[in-house]
Amino acid sequence: MIEVSKTELEGVFVIKPHVFEDHRGQFVETYNHRLYAENGIDVKFVQDDISISTRNVLRGIHGDNVTHKLLCCLHGKLYFVVVNCDTESKDFGRWQSFILSEASRMQVLVPPKYGNAYLVLSDEATFHYKQSTYYDRSKQFTYKWNDPRLNIWWPIENPILSERDEQGK
């Protein structure tokens, strides 16, 4: 069982999987193609990735023009941002933020032409994402986390960044 909700951004969905809890802990089915397709998400995923980061690390804004991504936080807590990076769209630069955490188990489906980024709010966080295409750095776009055209609000002034994210290339 999952609950799928539209967001303020066209084509971006929030998915809340059912969390079964008892005296032993938790069980969460994080993906079931049939169940997702029945709820309007009929995307074939071909690659899974995990990123582990520490507090104040900011990764992104990355994306491409062909890949759907299903993203969640397996451990810790993240400030997660999705932004419309389609320069031909009237909604270019429109963004929305979410808090992703191991407590909520919430997932976000990000369509092509959208970028995503996250800031680690906990001591450490594990970020998981499924992709509908194989990773190809040469086809990706990157925007600086503080690009003035996007005007994204971040709960930090001096995040820890990679060279790619610092330069926005």
Flag whether pLDDT at 1 surpasses 90.
no
**Beta carbons of 107 and 87 less than 8 angstroms apart:** no
Q: What is the pLDDT of residues 88-102, one digit of tens each?
A: 999 999 999 999 999
Q: What is the pLDDT of residues 18-27, one digit of tens each?
A: 999 999 999 9
- Residue-level pLDDT at 162: 95
Rounded mean pLDDT, 65-83: 98
Distance CA 142, CA 17 (A): 30
Dihedral angle, C-alpha 14, 32, 133, 88, nearest 10 °: -30
Fold of 44-167: Jelly Rolls (2.60.120)
Q: Report residue 168's pLDDT band, with 50, 70 and 90 as the boundaries.
A: confident
Q: Report residue 156's pLDDT band, with 50, 70 and 90 as the boundaries.
A: very high
3-state SS string for 6-20? ECCCCCCEEEEECEE
Strand partners, 22: 25
Flag whether pLDDT at 169 surpasses 90.
no
Q: What is the pLDDT of residues 46-72, one digit of tens each?
A: 999 999 999 999 999 999 999 999 999
Residues forming the active site: 62, 129
Flag whether pLDDT at 103 surpasses 90.
yes
